[in-house]
Structures are given as C-alpha cells and as structure tokens.
Amino acid sequence: MKISVKVKPNSKIEKVEKAEGFWLIYVKEPPQEDRANLAVINLLSEYFKVPKSRISILKGKKSRQKIVEIVNSTS
C-alpha cells in the first residue's frame, strides 16, 4: 500500500495521526543526515506492525511531504 505522509520534524512527541487524505507523522529527530526519515520508518513500522524492511520512502526523501510504500505480508 502507498500512503501520502506529511512529516513534522523536531517535534516534542512522536506520533502518527490519520488526517483527511494523508498521514501526519511527528518525529523528534531533525531533518538532517536522513535522521527524520529513519524515525518515520521506525514509527510507521510500530504503527502498522510490519518490519522496517517492508517500508520504503518512494518520493520526498528531502521533503516534508512523502510517498511511503508499506508492503504487507500475504501469508
């Protein structure tokens, strides 16, 4: 599944919120050296209960708006 994500780096708390048409991801990490992207993957992994290896950022690695792919196991 592909989801549209808007990232809020440097947040005081980390959380995942469903908004209308996209997901809001709040991470404590700054948007430097891929740290916020890794935090997004970690949070989505916990939220959707899938391994981190099944989550990838398709578009927007250097942007706050991203397209993320989550591959669910079918077995």
* Residue position matching structure tokens 């440097």: 10
How high does pLDDT run on average in the chain? Answer: 94
Domain-embedded: residue 11:
yes
Is the model's pLDDT at 11 over the cut of 90? yes
Domain-embedded: residue 75:
no
| pLDDT value at residue 56 | 97
Statement: the pTM of the whole predicted model exceeds 0.85: yes
| pLDDT value at residue 73 | 63
When computed from its CA atoms, the radius of gyration of the chain, rounded to whole angstroms, is 11
Is the model's pLDDT at 19 over the cut of 90? yes
**53 lies in which domain range?**
2-70
pLDDT in tens, 39-69: 999 999 999 999 999 999 999 999 999 999 9
Is the model's pLDDT at 10 over the cut of 90? yes
**CATH number of domain containing 9:** 3.30.1200.10
Number of domains in the chain: 1
**Token output for 2:** 């592909």
